[in-house]
Structure 1
């Protein structure tokens, strides 16, 4: 059960009580969008970039998102109820509304970040390469595939994670049908080659990660340049370091891909500090 639940127009509600009608298109068809935001000392980190991405997702899906001012107010209500002691994950969910027609349904949940996610910052990740089934440029030329939108249609996403874990891995890393690395089911691939920090170009249809974007905007503080390029799995073994980034897991080093050990960069701690993610002892 969520620790804090807040509903647009109602504020914080009892998390044990239902908030959705049976014909809401979110659970019925997975027809909705969401954002998950890191919370530190009671503050939603990178809230505005998350809201901007949420608006872009809504536009791609033709969902009329409630005003950003009302969503900010909803976030503040949830944050106040959560307090300042724990690192949290604030999730905003917006569905298209009822199957019979209605305004969108929007609510927030807020929970502590699980230890398993925090520990990945220290222990790193063992990844399994899985095919997404599309060429790298398929989603860019096929807008109905909703490339770059953060949707609630997560059955394939969670299936990929479960499959990887059933084989003894921590997570998956999706590849295109033509052999390029794309993204994790819930995270963005970032790697270092020399003094340049890279990620996968957005024209591949990946979701543009807010944590990765923050690192790229501020990489100059570490004396790093930034770039985008397509990369194949075999080439990742030659880079100086690779990380999966997300708002919950933070900056987690990639230890191996398909049981091939990757180089470990001494700059992991710098990147984690830059983005402000605490690392367990």
Structure 2
């Protein structure tokens, strides 16, 4: 069976309340042309997306992802997605996934320039092998994001809380981290507050409490971070949100980057300075994140 699949999704209005949306999904040949040259997702990165982890055909955190897709669409003034249609699209794509770990990507674009409707599709493919990095962790550098902590509230048009297709800055940050001899990066505001990684949320442990930056700071509210918090709370551990400084990061008892596909990876160094890690807890988090939920 081919390892990669794609479904084009014919968007329907939120008032469409049918039970079965399978007729709105068209399987596509992933080797054949599928998008118009006027497509704004490729011309301008004008659209939103989600990446969903799939374990042996089971898609995790589906509701959190489709809700965040709708939130991103709202921030970008895109037509509201029909959530039940997108839930069924995830299920249809996940059913095509290879065994083991895979990833379903959902894309909602503004469509063809001056066109009548958005363009939408889902893909499914094997996930990269992250076993080594989950075990060994990552070295990170802190990178200036170029704005202060209040920029998201003052300038909502920056779309700081939306998961958009405009990922050029995120990819440039990862390349810069590697140029500096690190594996990943954490963005820091001009006034010294930590935000998130280019493709992951940040969680710190301070004593017996786990904290993550406030999502009101113009960062994505991570779906995996929410799952991790539910897991920690079920064990009686304290979790919370805080305005965290770069100093808080380097003084943490442990820290992780968490995301839907790579899952939980420990931060082992910050700007060249070693940071303590907790291999047993990291292994426990990943065992949980690899379970159906």
- Which range, TM-score by smaller chain? over 0.9
Aligned partner of 2:210 in structure 1 is 197
> Is 1:137 paired with 2:157?
no
Question: Map of 1:1-281 to 2, 5 A cutoff?
Answer: 3-8=4-9, 9-83=24-98, 85-115=99-129, 117-265=130-278, 266-276=280-290
Please give the alpha-carbon distance, in whole angstroms, between the structure 2 residues aligned to 1:203 and 1:74. 30
Task: List per-residue Cα deviations over 1:198-249 (Å, max 9, x = no partner).
Answer: 0000121110100001111232222211111122223222222100000011
- The structural deviation recorded for 1:270 is 2.4
Please give the alpha-carbon distance, in whole angstroms, between the structure 2 residues aligned to 1:277 and 1:257. 30
Aligned partner of 2:14 in structure 1 is none
Structure 2 alignment gaps of length 5 or more: 10-23
Task: Specify whether residues 17 and 256 from structure 1 end up closer, same or farther in structure 2 by C-alpha distance, changes over 3 A only.
Answer: same
Structure 1 runs of 4+ off > 3 angstroms? none
Counterpart secondary structure, 1:98: coil
Please give the alpha-carbon distance, in whole angstroms, between the structure 1 residues aligned to 2:161 and 2:101. 27
- The structural deviation recorded for 1:10 is 4.0
Task: Specify whether residues 194 and 120 from structure 1 end up closer, same or farther in structure 2 by C-alpha distance, changes over 3 A only.
Answer: same
- The structural deviation recorded for 1:82 is 1.9
Please give the alpha-carbon distance, in whole angstroms, between the structure 2 residues aligned to 1:276 and 1:140. 35
Please give the alpha-carbon distance, in whole angstroms, between the structure 1 residues aligned to 2:179 and 2:149. 26
Partners of 1:137 and 1:203 within 8 A in 2: no
> Bigger shift: 233-242 or 176-185?
233-242
Please give the alpha-carbon distance, in whole angstroms, between the structure 2 residues aligned to 1:277 and 1:138. 37
- TM-score (norm: length of structure 2): 0.89
Q: Aligned-residue CA RMSD in angstroms?
A: 1.7
- TM-score (norm: length of structure 1): 0.93
Counterpart secondary structure, 2:124: strand
Aligned partner of 2:16 in structure 1 is none
Counterpart secondary structure, 1:81: coil
Q: How many residues are treated as equivalent by the alignment?
A: 276
Partners of 2:192 and 2:245 within 8 A in 1: yes
Structure 1 alignment gaps of length 5 or more: none
Please give the alpha-carbon distance, in whole angstroms, between the structure 2 residues aligned to 1:219 and 1:31. 36
Task: Specify whether residues 45 and 229 from structure 1 end up closer, same or farther in structure 2 by C-alpha distance, changes over 3 A only.
Answer: same
